[in-house]
Amino acid sequence: MDSHVNDKCLRSKLVARDAVEDSPKNQDFAWPIKGLKLLFEVKLEEESTIWEGYVNWKKKPATKGQHGGMLAASFVLVVEVMESLAFLACGCNLVVYLLHYMHYSPSEAANNVTNFMGTAFLLALLGGFLSDAFFITYKIYLMSALVEFLGLAILTTQSHSSWLMPPECNPTGPCEQVNGAKAAILFVGLYATALGVGCIKGCLPAHGAQQFDETTINGRIQLATFFNYFVFCLSFGALLAVTLVVWIEDNKGWDWGLGIATLTILLSIPVFLAGSGYYKIKVPSGSPLTTIFMVLIGAIVNRSMPQNDTEQQQTVTKDDIDQTQTLTLSPNLKFLNNAAVNKPAYDFLNNCSTKQVEDVKIILQLLPIFGCTIMLNCCIAQLSTFSIQQAASMNTKIGSLNVPPASLPAFPVIFIIFLAPLYDHIIIPVARKVTKSEMGVSHLQRIGVGLLLSVLAMAIAALVEIKRKRIATRSGLEQQEPLPITFLWVSFQYLFLGSADLFTLAGSLEFFYTETPETMKSLATSLSFVSLAMGYYLSTVIVSIVNGVTGMFGHRGWLSGENLNHFHLERFYWLMCILSALNFLFYLYCAKRYKYQSKGASF
């Protein structure tokens, strides 16, 4: 019996040994073992090559090496050129269209333009919210491009059909302003376009930024390059809009110009779809606004409850290694810690996690920086309104070439097109060597340079207007012919504000994207465009307030009347210069107190 058992054990050992050593006479045992081992190794390899939290356009897991990277982002950059051309072909010359074809007064036309542009950029918040909460950025772009196409198609149809336009001006009487159903068509087309543009602005930059790996130094450097070239492509599309398309609008008709914009945004859809096989797309993780409201409401309602001081353990992924990180409630914005109490004040409330509270703190700490960029964009709003009207009253010829006033934005965009590659390939590498840091120039430093340039731009704008008014006074303030002064004087304020826009927009896009939690990146990136919206709205408010205050007691308002020569535009520009200087000082205070959250952002 014992001998039989020993022989059986010996045979088992020999079989096991042969299976491990892959003996030919035990292939039936060796192959299953090797197969399981191979399957296990393949499974590990697959998991290590998958982008966690990302899918491809077919909703299957995105894989490293196949999805993401600069190739995928380059489709986004091409689409941005086309989208920028379509939007600005409508927006940059809109004040002239409203003045001469829809017969609005100069101030009404200016306010309608700023309201349209402001709404378009404000709706970026909607695009960012939908991308983070419900839909992937891929779908948001496709839906938004179709909406913008429909809006531009409506405007094109109206500009082509004389019966949808107000009657031409009668030389013996006042012009009839667009009204009724014709005005309704105009505003439906404008604000459908604004809706499409806004949602694109809220999803497209984030979609491009998603293609890079922020956990590596190379990925972060590529991300910074992407945002620089995103502004470059935006400017290149704008250059085509303010030169080629504006010339077509002025010489061939608005229906031709708007038709080009309509066709361009339509063609951007197949271009975007061509990159589908290369995109990695962030999976929506729920509404970030819900988290923000939960924390704010919890902080208010639970203010009388004892705070939860316990630490929370959370598993995070870092360089493909699972690590356990201890999260504690930070002392800054301490009132929000009330949202993480052990037991809420009311049973229907859920206590918030430490991570939720800390994520909301990050968002709130960004808001002062966001607020400081609004004044810069208020200055930029003048380039679409009063600056164009200034140029229209001046000699717009360069030699024998008659330059449309709406083409003035070509000056800053040409400068941006030149400066963006120079900044990325020369200035930043030198700055990295000098500062021995990953960024070279920090996000907040870039934004600060832009804000300072806006102060100088408004001072220059005031001085140029003083010079223009002196010549207008000598020529007669009622003079309707172009004044004997070249419009190139106005280009200086365009150059300074264009430079300011490059530094601040590229810096703020990257700043808001990299500093915020994963669940809020699209929403946070849209803040850069929401700042533009608030700047345009603030411009409308300041113009109204200035006219109201300066027009009291029977005086003519600084910005009222039919003739720009009767305006006190130089005083308005000095006011903007002072407000910009105060804003810059406040920014320095906020930037000094801010502590970076992302890797490689600080020195």
pTM confidence score: 0.75
Rounded to 10 deg, the angle between the 354-381 and 491-515 helix axes is 170
Q: What is the CATH number of the domain that holds 138?
A: 1.20.1250.20
Other CB atoms within 10 Å distance of the CB of residue 548: 11
**CA-CA distance, 252 to 203, in Å (whole number)?**
34
Claim to verify: residue 490 and residue 592 sit in the same structural domain: yes
8 in a domain, yes or no?
A: no
Q: What is the mean pLDDT of residues 430-450?
A: 84
pLDDT score of 245? 86
Cα dihedral 504→507→510→514 (10° resolution) = -110
How are the residues of the chain apportioned to helix, strand and coil, as percentages rounded to the nearest 5?
70, 5, 25
Listing DSSP states for 433-447 in one string gives HHHTSSSSS-HHHHH
**CA-CA distance, 256 to 61, in Å (whole number)?**
44
Kindly state the tokens that stand for 148. 């913008």
Claim to verify: residue 224 and residue 371 sit in the same structural domain: no
How confident is the model over 109-122, as pLDDT tens digits? 877 887 888 788 88
- Evaluated on CA atoms 568, 574, 577, 582, the torsion sign reads negative
197 in a domain, yes or no?
A: yes
Nearest Cα residue to 220 out of 511, 500, 426, 502: 511
52 in helix, strand or coil? strand
Confidence band (pLDDT; 50, 70, 90) for 350?
low
496 in a domain, yes or no?
A: yes
Kindly state the tokens that stand for 200. 């694109």
pLDDT score of 347? 52
**If you average pLDDT over each of 71-85, 350-364, 369-383, which comes out highest?**
71-85
Q: Show which of 286, 307, 328 is a domain's final residue.
A: 286
Kindly state the tokens that stand for 163. 């019966």
Confidence band (pLDDT; 50, 70, 90) for 194?
very high
Other CB atoms within 10 Å distance of the CB of residue 566: 17
Claim to verify: residue 141 and residue 276 sit in the same structural domain: yes
Looking at the structure of the chain, the number of domains it has is 2
**Contact (Cβ atoms closer than 8 angstroms) between residue 299 and residue 335:** yes
Confidence band (pLDDT; 50, 70, 90) for 44?
very low
445 in a domain, yes or no?
A: yes
How confident is the model over 462-513, as pLDDT tens digits? 998 888 888 878 777 666 667 788 888 888 888 888 888 888 888 888 888 8
pLDDT score of 459? 93
Q: How many residues does the chain have?
A: 603
Domain that holds residue 449: 353-596
pLDDT score of 173? 66
183 in a domain, yes or no?
A: yes
**CA-CA distance, 497 to 519, in Å (whole number)?**
33
Confidence band (pLDDT; 50, 70, 90) for 193?
very high
pLDDT score of 48? 54
Token pair 């990050």 in the structure block, residue: 362
Looking at this protein, which amino acid is placed at residue 483?
Answer: L
pLDDT score of 567? 76
Claim to verify: residue 242 and residue 384 sit in the same structural domain: no
Would the pLDDT of 8 be above 60? no
How confident is the model over 252-273, as pLDDT tens digits? 888 888 899 999 999 999 999 9
Claim to verify: residue 262 and residue 392 sit in the same structural domain: no
Claim to verify: residue 390 and residue 255 sit in the same structural domain: no
324 in a domain, yes or no?
A: no
**If you average pLDDT over each of 121-130, 197-206, 311-320, 344-353, which comes out highest?**
197-206
**CA-CA distance, 80 to 409, in Å (whole number)?**
18
Cα dihedral 140→145→146→150 (10° resolution) = 140
30 in a domain, yes or no?
A: no
Q: Show which of 286, 313, 338 is a domain's final residue.
A: 286
Looking at this protein, which amino acid is placed at residue 532?
Answer: L
Q: In this predicted model, which residue has the larger pLDDT, 62 or 555?
A: 62
Kindly state the tokens that stand for 210. 């998603």
pLDDT score of 406? 65
Claim to verify: residue 245 and residue 364 sit in the same structural domain: no
Q: Show which of 259, 286, 313 is a domain's final residue.
A: 286
**CA-CA distance, 430 to 463, in Å (whole number)?**
35
93 in helix, strand or coil? coil
Q: Chain-wide mean pLDDT for the chain?
A: 78
Kindly state the tokens that stand for 186. 């105009």
**Contact (Cβ atoms closer than 8 angstroms) between residue 225 and residue 73:** no
9 in a domain, yes or no?
A: no
Would the pLDDT of 176 be above 70? yes
Would the pLDDT of 224 be above 80? yes
- Beta strand 312-318 pairing with 281-282: unpaired
